[in-house]
Amino acid sequence: MINLELLPLATIYCYSALYISVLSLWLPLKLKLPAWSITGIIACIFALINNQMDIYAVLPIVALACAVYFSGKNNIPSTGRIIAGITVIFIAIPLGAHLIPYFHNLKILSNVYISTDGIPFTMYLNFDKTIVGLCILGLTQHLISNKNTWLSMIKETIPPASVLIFISILLAILVGNVHFDPKLPECLWIWSITNLLFVCTAEEGFFRGFIQKNLAMIFANHQWGKPIALIITSLFYGLIHFSGGIIYVGLVVVAGIGYGWIYQKTNHIEASILTHFALNLIHILFFTYPALP
């Protein structure tokens, strides 16, 4: 793992601000500008100072934020919202897949063997992907803002999440993707906060909070509208992970169906985010990570 003490202060400030920005999505503060946007701008400033992103990266970030904002505005013509929604997809996918060249994400783990018999694992702190989730959750989602709603959401989420985790792990074992391998990795702390705030939040924000949510609205008058939205989103989610091979795509589709089902059932994006993270956490703690060769 990279020695954090050797990192430039601007890099530490950049990613600290980005972590705080994601967390501040749930801060019950009423400011002229949302707390997440203020800390997000600060993260961008430090990213520019330390060359974590080039000045040209500001353009797709601003374009994404504008497109997300207008896609959720009910007081503009539907044609405008559709164009904005399509624009979101065409910007968010290359950002999430790191195809826009103006970002220089920090590599925090390089070819680390978390499981001795697993494949090596590399992890980046992905600024570009995180921005996607941040914009979508901050501009289009009604997030939980009080203790009672948090408790009721968690209570409602635990049973279906437990079923999904059991099925997902069982399938992964049956297809030879993992086996039982309990451990406590040295990198668990940085992996955990990054996986929760940068990976799960971004992926659930885009796939469930944007794609599935809008498909459900499009098919609202269809008898099977919600299942159609769920299946299309889950297949799309699986295809995005095609680099892992067909077996991995299948496992991701199954997990995606579970995340989407829980999102539909609870109507809270937090439920799918926490379920996604819980599955990933159980995976790294108790099974081969990231996978067997």
Q: List pLDDT tens digits, range 89-102.
A: 999 999 999 999 99
Binned at pLDDT 50, 70 and 90, residue 75 comes out as confident
Is 234 part of any domain? yes
Amino acid at 208: R
Is 217 part of any domain? yes
Is 292 part of any domain? no
Is 291 part of any domain? no
User: Is the predicted pLDDT of residue 5 greater than 90, yes or no?
Assistant: no
Is 226 part of any domain? yes
Q: List pLDDT tens digits, range 13-59.
A: 999 999 999 999 999 877 888 999 999 999 999 999 999 999 999 99
**For position 28, what pLDDT does the model report?**
82
Q: List pLDDT tens digits, range 142-169.
A: 999 999 999 999 999 999 999 999 999 9
Q: List pLDDT tens digits, range 196-251.
A: 999 999 999 999 999 999 999 999 999 999 999 999 999 999 999 999 999 999 99
Binned at pLDDT 50, 70 and 90, residue 112 comes out as very high
The pTM for the full model equals 0.96
- Report the share of the chain in percent with pLDDT over 70: 100
Q: List pLDDT tens digits, range 274-293.
A: 999 999 999 999 999 999 99
Nearest to 202, CA basis, from 124, 291, 122: 124
Is 81 part of any domain? yes
Is 193 part of any domain? yes
Is 61 part of any domain? yes
**For position 86, what pLDDT does the model report?**
98
Range(s) of the domain holding residue 278: 4-286
For residues 201 and 133, is the Cβ–Cβ distance under 8 A?
yes
In the chain, how many domains are there?
1
